[in-house]
Homo-oligomer: A and B are copies of this chain.
Amino acid sequence: MSATYVHGYHRRENERLQDQAGTLVDLLHSDTSYPAGSVILEAGCGVGAQTVTLAQRSPGARFMSVDASADSVAEAKRTAEAAGLTNVLFQQADIFDLPFAPETFDHVFVCFVLEHLSRPVDALAILNRQLRPGGTMTVIEGDHGSTYFHPDSSAAHRAIQCLVELQRQGGGNALIGRQLYPLMVEADLEAVHVSPRMVYVDSSRPDLVDGFIRKTFTAMIEGARESAIAAGIIGPDAFDAGVRDLYRTAEADGVFCYTFFKGVGEKRRRA
């Protein structure tokens, strides 16, 4: 998994994930909090960008945050310590080889992970087995195919398509957000409810212009430049033209739209 992580493990990428969590935190997480005493598995915590938000919003809950990358886990641990968190344990572990007994957790939280997996339903089914009956699973994913903007630009869409294609070549799916409902149902979760979280940005919202258009989305696309060129998906001039047009949408008459999806389902109770 870690070898094909399309965004890469660079410092700038870490900063981007933190910026993203900072800007989008309310949109994505404001309706997630866990009762005191409950035990939550955060599967694929990465560098801890979501962990801090999660753990701070549920100070009485205890979190086990795991990631396949030992380096990411180490970074997440530093981030959590810097934030003064005392209710999170970190462990290096792969979703497909978890070291926990079945039904260990009251809740499972998975954010920006399925997009990188070639077997997302298998991953959800494995995580489902970690839940006690009646426990909940929360899944958050983006969908790059939900991106549109003004001024429209085919060059910009081609640059975005590079990331979609790289992720596909790595076995992932950058368009997975729209599929959360059928994926969670197929993984045998019950009472699945998916809600879209659309980021709409125009110049009346300067924080999002900077925080989302520039520092989150376009920075993510730019981060794929070398890989996309090396993979022969696009030439440097075409890529740079697309990125320029994405930045163009951050000007006064520009508009930018992107949608995340959040799904919540329940572990089936015994009959």
Contact = CB atoms under 8 A, between A and B. Distances in A.
A38 B221 CA distance: 49
Contacts of A196: 198, 200, 257
Contacts of A182: 150, 202, 252-255
B257 A178 contact: yes
A198 B196 CA distance: 8
Chain A: number of interface residues, binned into ranges: 20 to 34
Interface string A13-27: 000000000000000
Number of copies: 2
A9 interface: no
Contacts of A145: 148, 152
Contacts of A257: 146, 178, 196, 259
Contacts of A185: 253
Contacts of A193: 204
A200 B261 CA distance: 10
A102 to B, nearest CB: 27
Nearest to A256: B178
Contact of A146 (B148, B192, B195): B148
A143 B204 CA distance: 20
Interface string A241-255: 000000000001111
Contacts of A252: 182
A203 B181 contact: yes
A178 B152 CA distance: 10
Contact of A181 (B181, B186, B204): B204
The list of the 6 closest CB pairs from A to B, nearest first, reads: A181-B202, A182-B253, A196-B200, A150-B178, A178-B255, A145-B148
